[in-house]
A and B are shown apart, each in its own frame.
Chain A
Amino acid sequence: MAVDADRIPRVAPAPAGLLEKVMSNRHFLGLLFMLPAAALLLLFLTYPLGLGVWLGFTDTRIGRDGVFIGLENFEYLLDDTVFWLSVFNTILYTVVASILKFGLGLWLALLLNQHMPCKAFFRAIVLLPWVVPTVLSAIAFWWIFDAQFSILSWALREMGLIDANINFLGDKWNARWSVIAANVWRGIPFVAISLLAGLQTIPQSLYEAATLDGTTPWQRFRYITLPLLTPIIAVVMTFSVLFTFTDFQLIYVLTRGGPINATHLMATLSFQRAIPGGFLGEGAAIATAMIPFLLSAILFSYFGLQRRRWQHGGQD
């Protein structure tokens, strides 16, 4: 061991070469080791984001370089009823789907947290909607919501509840609720499994202590489970809101934004205008307009929910 220790040069020898000098500088080494990760981030995250925002300030079209036009795209969008409809749709879609995903996901997590036979099996099953590629499940829902061959319409008809098929994707509000239902189905596993993980961090002895303190099951949920789960709920719901707000695949497969733009979200409208429509600049402006919404969602969860005084130890 003594030999090894001797080999490590604690102080660079006096006549060291430049390379050796630089290589033993901790700041330079730090920079060097950071480079690969930084390069990846810059190339695949920052550059596309920057390019997208930049495009929003130009009149670029497919096949034609644009020039900087300032806020002209955004001014145009302000008077665009379809854009405002998509904003409304996106908010409705995000709010309703997130609330449903939270409620059902928490309920499922509480159920899965109970002692029951084949626990691991059920937990695995619950993950399936999350594991299946979105496009695949969207196609399945497309079939379920089909105007003629819908299994839902068929079942309800057989039960004698309805006379004619439901026009799931052809009617404005039907289409909105249908895509929300599909999104909820897909999003529940993420919420449920994450909250289940959170539930399992709550020590059993707290529930026992609360039982001896005289709580009812509802009070245990209200006073123990919910407050202790809040930090996890904040993180999970932030992600859930972000995923929902930026959803694209499900809508694009099911309705392409129709009927009459009733299910167009900001993401699908942005794509619609930019690629099939050819107005890259305008599409980018719509996408850029999503950023303030997303940032405010993140800030709300970070400042409003995530930080709890009781989580901080040590100082007052």
Chain B
Amino acid sequence: MASVAIRDVRKAFGQVEIIHGVSIDIEDGEFVILVGPSGCGKSTLLRMIAGLESITGGEICIADRVVNQVPPKERDIAMVFQNYALYPHMTVGENMAFSMKLRKAPRADMEARVTRAAEILGLTPYLDRYPRQLSGGQRQRVAMGRAIVRDPQVFLFDEPLSNLDAKLRVQMRTEIKELHQRLKTTTIYVTHDQIEAMTMADKIVVMHDGIIEQMGAPLDLYDRPDNLFVAGFIGSPAMNFIKGRAAVNGHASVMSDTGIELPLGAVSGGLDGRPVVYGIRPENLTIAEGGLPAEVVVVEPTGSETQVFAKLAGQEVVAVLRERVNIGPGDIIPLKPDTSLVHLFDAGTGQRI
């Protein structure tokens, strides 16, 4: 187990720089998730930590040792690949023992570790099978088993759940989190799925176009997104955005481009007339007296909640209602934002106000 420090790391392929100076401090035992859309550089960053990609600029330290020039096998890390990368010609047991076999570890020690890892992951009945004979979820577990047997300083996960079906993904999410709570090994996990990030991480790093947009605990990111990108990326369904201008005449509000007045809570001064984006999360909109008139477009009941897509101030917004409602397309409903939970962003820079 070890801390990992990433200091102003850059990566360029030829002339094209794709990671523009990223710094992250990861504490010993922390579960950090790098999340962002495709092409944001998160996987490349992970591969640089693993040593599979060279580092163009900056430093990566594992356990206070700069590893820029250290070959992957000496970094003492284990990685779980998106396609699992199991050796097809070795059985589950051989796959897990391979790294120890290479190090010429004592046989008893090797067997003990493989047995333990197989027990943790429920793979004991499958040790003699080949990867082909396993289901996707079992292969995923073998890939993790291979990492556990190594007992490395750092676990790296590269989108490990993206090849699984939805149900299995939820199950494996819990298993990985449990595993981390049990082993307490520093873990860096890459995903494009913000739900995975929210549910599993101690710390989320949101990346976009090769920079870090925001870094912090999951709920901090959810409650106080620094900018429009994070606000839109974290949370499902995504936050509603309505463009307008701040107006502070008597009570603070935002005048939308279509002339609807959107209420605000307490707001600091000096905003008057500034172009802003009004953000409100779907669960912070309720149907209530005095709400803003919105025309229902689609109603999607999920059982536990109802998602209502409606046109508000000329823009489609979505509201998540906990109670069941009897409304249909075309109805006009009063949607009331919870003014204490409104997020305001500068329309030009996208930064939180």
Instruction: Write the residues of chain A forming the contact surface with B, with a CB cutoff of 8 angstroms.
Output: 203, 205-206, 208-215, 219, 223-224, 227-228, 308-316
List 9 additional contacts besides A213-B150, A310-B89; criterion CB under 8 Å. Answer: A205-B81, A208-B81, A209-B81, A211-B51, A212-B73, A214-B102, A311-B132, A314-B133, A316-B129
| Least CB distance, A294 to chain B, in whole angstroms | 29
Q: Is the CB of B133 within 8 A of A313?
A: yes
- A315 CB to closest chain B CB (Å) equals 8
Known interface pairs A314-B133, A316-B133; A203-B83 also in contact (CB < 8 Å): yes
Q: Does B79 contact A (CB under 8 A)?
A: yes
Interface pair B79/A212, CB less than 8 Å apart: yes
Which residues from A are CB-within-8-Å of B85?
203, 205-206, 208-209
Residue in chain B with minimal CB distance to A202: B88
**Top 3 A-B pairs ranked by shortest CB distance?**
A313-B132, A213-B99, A205-B85
Chain B 42-71: CB-based contact to A (< 8 A → 1; otherwise 0):
000000001110000000000000000000
Chain A residues with Cβ under 8 A from B150's Cβ? Answer: 213
Secondary structure dominating the interface of A:
helix
Of the four ranges (under 10, 10 to 19, 20 to 34, 35 or more), the interface on chain B belongs to: 20 to 34
Chain B 243-267 near chain A by CB (<8 Å), digits 1 or 0: 0000000000000000000000000
Q: Taking the nearest CB of chain B, how far is it from the CB of A313, in angstroms?
A: 4
Task: Tally inter-chain residue pairs, CB-CB below 8 A.
Answer: 69
- Asked if A219 meets B102 with Cβ closer than 8 Å, knowing A212-B72, A212-B73, A313-B133, the reply is yes
| Whole-angstrom distance between the Cβ of B122 and the nearest chain A Cβ | 18
Complex Cα spacing A263 to B150, Å: 58
Complexed CA–CA distance, A316 and B79 (Å): 28
Bound complex: CA of A310 vs CA of B83, how far in Å?
18
Residue of B nearest to A219 (CB): B102
Instruction: Specify which of A208, A224, A228, A312 is in contact with B52 (CB 8 Å cutoff).
Output: A208
Nearest A residue (CB) for B98: A213
- Expressed in whole angstroms, the minimum distance between the Cβ of B14 and any Cβ of chain A is 14
B103: nearest chain-A partner, CB-CB: A214
Judged by a CB distance under 8 angstroms, whether B4 is at the interface is no
Q: How far is the CA of A39 from the CA of B284 in the complex (A)?
A: 77
Which residues of chain B are near A315, meaning CB under 8 Å? Answer: 133
Question: Which residue of B has the minimal Cβ distance to A231?
Answer: B89
Q: Does B222 contact A (CB under 8 A)?
A: no
| A214→B130 contact, CB < 8 A | no
Q: For residue A21, give the distance in angstroms from its CB to the closest CB of chain B.
A: 47
Q: Which residues of chain B come closer than 8 Å to A205, judged between CB atoms?
A: 81-83, 85
Q: Judge whether A212 and B78 touch: CB under 8 Å.
A: yes
CA–CA, A91 and B27, complex, Å: 67
Q: Is the CB of B99 within 8 A of A214?
A: yes
Give the docked Cα–Cα distance between A309 and B90 (Å): 10
Shortest Cβ distance from A315 into B: residue: B133
Interface flag for B77 (CB, 8 Å): yes
Q: Does B87 belong to the interface (CB within 8 Å)?
A: yes
**Is A312 touching B77 in the complex (CB atoms < 8 A)?**
no
- CB pair A312 B98 closer than 8 Å: no
A-B contact pairs, 10 of them (CB 8 A): A209-B87, A210-B87, A212-B50, A212-B52, A213-B150, A214-B73, A215-B102, A228-B89, A310-B88, A310-B131
- What sequence of 0s and 1s flags, for each residue 95-127 of chain B, a beta carbon within 8 Å of any chain A beta carbon? 000110011000000000000000000000000
Task: Kindly state the separation between the CA atoms of A211 and B72 in the bound complex, as whole angstroms.
Answer: 7
Measured CA separation A252–B73 after assembly (Å):
55
Chain B residues, CB < 8 A from A213: 73, 98-99, 102, 146, 150
Neighbouring B residues of A227 by C-beta, 8 Å: 89
CB distance from B148 to the nearest CB of A (A): 13
**Assembled-state Cα–Cα distance A227/B77 (Å):** 26
**Cα(A215)–Cα(B73), bound, Å:** 7
Closest to B83 in A: A205
A-side contacts of B90, CB under 8 Å: 310
CB contacts (< 8 Å) of B78 on chain A: these are 212
On whether the beta carbons of B102 and A312 are closer than 8 Å, the reply is no
Bound Cα distance A117, B99 (Å): 34
- Tell me the minimal C-beta distance from A91 to chain B in angstroms: 32
Query: Which chain A positions have C-beta within 8 A of B73?
Result: 211-215
Question: B147: shortest Cβ distance to chain A, in Å?
Answer: 9
CA distance A223 to B79 in the complex (A): 19
Which chain B residues border A211 with CB–CB below 8 Å? 51-52, 72-73
Query: Chain A residues near B51 (CB, 8 Å)?
Result: 211-212
Using Cβ atoms and an 8 Å threshold, which residues of chain A touch B133? 313-316
Most chain B Cβ neighbours within 10 Å, of A227, A228, A310: A310
A268–B134 alpha-carbon span in the complex (Å): 53
- The answer to whether residues A212 and B83 also contact, given A227-B89, A313-B133 and a CB cut-off of 8 A, is no
A227 CA to B87 CA in the complex, in Å?
Answer: 10
- A213–B52 Cα gap in the complex (Å)? 12
Which residues of A are found within 8 Å of B82, using beta-carbon distances? 205
CB distance from B2 to the nearest CB of A (A): 16
Q: How far is the CA of A210 from the CA of B132 in the complex (A)?
A: 19
| CB-nearest residue of chain A to B158 | A205
Question: Which residues from chain A contact B77 at a C-beta distance below 8 Å?
Answer: 212
Given the complex, which residues of A lie within 8 Å of B50, measured CB to CB? 208, 212
Min CB distance A253 to B, Å, is 43
Are A312 and B103 touching (Cβ within 8 A)? Answer: no
CA distance A228 to B133 in the complex (A): 17
A315–B103 CA distance with the chains assembled, in angstroms: 33
B130 to A: closest C-beta gap in Å: 4
Which of chain B's residues have a CB closer than 8 A to the CB of A223? 87, 98
Residue of B nearest to A215 (CB): B102
Mask, B294-316, CB within 8 Å of A = 1, is 00000000000000000000000
Complex Cα–Cα for A311 and B85 (A)? 15
In the complex formed, the residue of A with least CB distance to B156 is A212
Q: How far is the CA of A209 from the CA of B96 in the complex (A)?
A: 12
Structural contact, B132 and A209, CB atoms closer than 8 A = no
Which residues of chain A are near B72, meaning CB under 8 Å?
211-212
CA distance A17 to B199 in the complex (A): 71
Chain A residues closer than 8 Å to B52, beta-carbon distance: 208, 211-212
> Please, which residues of chain A bring their CB within 8 A of the CB of B98?
210, 213, 223
Closest B residue by C-beta to A211: B72
